[in-house]
Chains A and B, each alone.
Chain A
Amino acid sequence: MSENATPKPLLEVKDLAITFSTPDGPVHAVRDANFTVMPGETVAIVGESGSGKSTSALAAIGLLAGNGRVSAGQILFDGEDIANASEKRFVELRGNHIGMVPQDPMSNLNPVWKIGFQVKETLKANGLAGDNPKKRVAQVLADAGLPNPEARANQYPHEFSGGMRQRALIAIGLACRPRLLIADEPTSALDVTVQQQILDHLDTMTSELGTAVLLITHDLGLAAERAEKVVVMYKGRVVEYGPALEILRNPKHPYTQRLINSAPSLSAARGDKHEAIVEETSPAKAEPLLSVSNLTKVFDIRKGFGKKEKFTAVDNVSFEIPKGTTTAVVGESGSGKSTIAQMVLNLLDSTSGEITFDGQQIGNLSEKQLFKYRRRVQPIFQDPYGSLDPMYSIYRTIEEPLRIHGIGNSASRQKKVKELLDQVSMPAATMHRFPNELSGGQRQRIAIARALALQPEMIVCDEAVSALDVLVQAQVLELLDELQRDMGLTYLFITHDLAVVRQIADNVCVMERGKIVEQGSVDDIFDAPKSDYTRNLLAAIPGATLI
């Protein structure tokens, strides 16, 4: 870049408009989008789902869904307008000029072909396989940070962890040394520490190769940390565009301001916390509502030929949750946090140890007692798409627990459902609709209303906000907070996201491989973490060092 006084932009998006034709008429997904990517530069597009950020990037590689098309404007790649280029031209460009790292590592590798095959065909299609394709494949995989690449190339995707798959996808995206890499939420499906490793690696590789990166993310903190320029998109329009740190520190558009205020990663760094809870609950040396002591869960893993192996998912875990407070259990995937939630909900038997709820051991409840227990402890699960029955209307979903527990008659139940919907700020008319007609955030509100129906004393939130966009996440967290204040609810909050913990929890247990490595009040954990593991987790929160 330095030789040239005014370097030519690599990608220039000018007045871009993208339209999808649907049975209900055209949908304008992107309007008047303008931004530029210089050679070797990283530009992040930030926005919530449906903001048009992925659509804009996919148009640059000719991968719009079948009913979408560029309806106006230009996409200049190295001076050539490719907005409506032929399929043939795109086949030439893809791979060696424009590469892509997709979002979800679980679904983006073909499950029936070996990793090596999938890398090799990329090289072959772009004429870069060379005389010894096997060696090239191993090299490419090694460059992406996969240990033992020769053996790994011979494995299938299902034999890889999520992080390893994402490395394989990065290897594929960069295999043909493209000049532009489109990275579509490349790490949002991964744990924070893995995310950090992978993004670091991606940074190193792209700067070595001089590759420009178009990074698509919903996380402003991550964007600011990784990119030189940030494009903020909202409802199909670019609302703010400029140098990353400037936007983060001095956001001009109200949407960007909201985004920054509700980004958990950023507020965690600022130490924001809802004062109300702190005041109400910190002096309370209340009775523990739930106490877990020496809880252990061992699974048998089948190894083929009748061999079994023991796997300790939860290892001698003890903690207490005082009434009316929130305790967060934090850890990476596989740390055993969800297993604890399942045992507390009595959906899974423990191998040893005790769970006591309100003075009563729940391990040996009779069927009748268990039924009563279920009424007092309710879950909210991660995936609002999977946890609501698509065949049940919202009314039926919320009413079902009332009916099962024989509460009220049909008129009083209807009234109750209306009240519950009101509590979670949903209009009463919602009850005649079905889950597929609602957004993710709305569905999670319904799941909360369903959990509240039986007036439980404790709610177990298993990654209850992880699937939601930041703004929606902030709203749902606020709702949970309000409900706690109004009804004195107790929360067991399972999450992988330390940033969210700071917003909601009073006490924290940090888990690693089945063991609690550290526990204490939220301020202790954040301000004076004792274990290295906690320190690593905190450091991996993107954008943490920027404010």
Chain B
Amino acid sequence: MLSFTLKRIAQLIPVFIGATLLVYFLVFATPGDPIAALSGGKPMTPATEAALRAQYNLDQPFWIQYGLYLKNLVTFDLGMSFSGQPVADLLGRAFPVTARLAILALLIEGVFGIIFGVIAGMRKGKFFDSTILVASLIVIAVPTFVLGFVLQFVIGVKLEWAKPTVSGAGTWSELILPAMVLGLVSLAYVIRLTRTSVIENKSADYVRTATAKGLSRNRVVRVHVLRNSLIPVVTFLGADLGSLMGGAIVTEGIFNVPGVGNLLYRAILKGETPTVVAVVGVLVIVFVIANLIVDMLYALLDPRIRYA
């Protein structure tokens, strides 16, 4: 298990270099001059322009730019944004907000998704099951921005149960409403996945044997159906954690959340290579680690899986 974990962490290095190189190149190749964008299209003296280009290494060829970026990275220098702030600071402010948002969303979809999914699966074809199936289909079908604006209007503006927008601090309580919106679509998937998995497992031979042993129905479901049904669900949740951390640009936009999604969106518009690459780099790490956690949970849930 240890060697497996170390191997996976070592895999981070080529994945990280590959991903940042690709993103660096994409931003480099994007049409439009970042310096022009920086000046807002106003005229600039050639000397100022040259100085700015030199400051951001924009006068160098691609490979040198990327090499310099990597060199700075080793010393934890992520570079400067065009507004003169260190990228590390920007990330340091946005990342915790997104992390809180993602964790809340994951909790909502995990807890409610599994509970509803198990109930629906155990009562296949009954009223609760049919209702949940239709409801989840609607949630999957409606675009996030519609769901977001509706919930913001109903819960935030009309009922005033939660603040409709998020302050710069992005505290836990402010983030509940955006987390609901963010988790809702995945919630629908988790419900459906759990339901299918429960239906499949509840007719397994070992469940019948467990019943024949004299166990109560409650225990049969808890001990023999649930754990076996969670394996595919955990895979989904782990992969979803990665994409939630990537910041939901739409949701963060609606609720004005100062998170990673917002930061990335603005940086892409400005062609601000250091910020874009730094954000993507962090996300790559988050993805790889989330997948590693999934694999380990897998082995924990299913003893037949052993890593060597």
Partner-B contacts on A (CB < 8 A): 61, 63, 65, 87, 91-96, 99-100, 102, 104, 107-114, 118, 121-122, 125-126, 156, 158, 169, 172-173, 176, 302, 304-305
Interface residues of B in 92-139 (CB under 8 A from A): none
With most chain A CB atoms within 10 A of its CB, the pick from B204, B206, B228 is B206
Smallest CB-CB separation from B224: which chain A residue?
A110
Chain B residues in 8 Å Cβ range of A125: 213-216, 219
Report the minimal beta-carbon distance from B83 to chain A, rounded to whole angstroms: 52
Q: Is the CB of A121 within 8 A of B212?
A: no
Partner-A contacts on B (CB < 8 A): 3, 203-217, 219, 223-224, 227-228, 301-304, 306, 308
Chain B residues in 8 Å Cβ range of A95: 212-215
Report the minimal beta-carbon distance from B214 to chain A, rounded to whole angstroms: 3
The residue that A63 contacts in the complex, of B204, B208, B227, B306, with Cβ under 8 A, is: B208
Known: A102-B205, A158-B303, A169-B209. A304 touches B308 (CB 8 A): yes
The residue that A108 contacts in the complex, of B209, B223, B227, with Cβ under 8 A, is: B209
The residue that B214 contacts in the complex, of A65, A94, A108, A113, with Cβ under 8 A, is: A94
The residue that B223 contacts in the complex, of A93, A114, A121, with Cβ under 8 A, is: A121
The residue that A121 contacts in the complex, of B203, B213, B302, with Cβ under 8 A, is: B213
Distance A95 CA – B214 CA, assembled complex (angstroms): 5
Chain A residues in 8 Å Cβ range of B206: 107-111
Distance A112 CA – B223 CA, assembled complex (angstroms): 10
Q: Is the CB of B3 within 8 A of A305?
A: yes
Known: A110-B206, A112-B227, A304-B308. A91 touches B301 (CB 8 A): no
What are the 5 tightest A-B residue pairs by CB atom distance, in nearest-first order?
A: A95-B214, A94-B214, A100-B212, A107-B205, A304-B308
Distance A365 CA – B224 CA, assembled complex (angstroms): 52
Chain B residues in 8 Å Cβ range of A91: 214-217
Q: Is the CB of B228 within 8 A of A112?
A: yes
Smallest CB-CB separation from B210: which chain A residue?
A110
Known: A102-B205, A112-B228, A172-B213. A121 touches B304 (CB 8 A): no
Distance A156 CA – B299 CA, assembled complex (angstroms): 13
Q: Is the CB of A102 within 8 A of B302?
A: no
Q: Is the CB of B209 within 8 A of A102?
A: yes
Q: Is the CB of B213 within 8 A of A111?
A: no
Q: Is the CB of A126 within 8 A of B214?
A: yes
Distance A107 CA – B205 CA, assembled complex (angstroms): 6
The residue that B217 contacts in the complex, of A87, A99, A108, A114, with Cβ under 8 A, is: A87
Report the minimal beta-carbon distance from B163 to chain A, rounded to whole angstroms: 43
Chain B residues in 8 Å Cβ range of A110: 206-207, 210, 224, 228
Q: Is the CB of B213 within 8 A of A94?
A: yes
Chain B residues in 8 Å Cβ range of A118: 210
Chain B residues in 8 Å Cβ range of A169: 209
Known: A110-B228, A156-B304. A94 touches B204 (CB 8 A): no
Q: Is the CB of A94 within 8 A of B303?
A: no
Chain A residues in 8 Å Cβ range of B205: 102, 104, 107-108
Q: Is the CB of B301 within 8 A of A112?
A: yes
Chain B residues in 8 Å Cβ range of A99: 212
Chain B residues in 8 Å Cβ range of A108: 205-206, 208-209
Distance A61 CA – B209 CA, assembled complex (angstroms): 11
Q: Is the CB of B211 within 8 A of A176?
A: no
Chain A residues in 8 Å Cβ range of B223: 113, 121
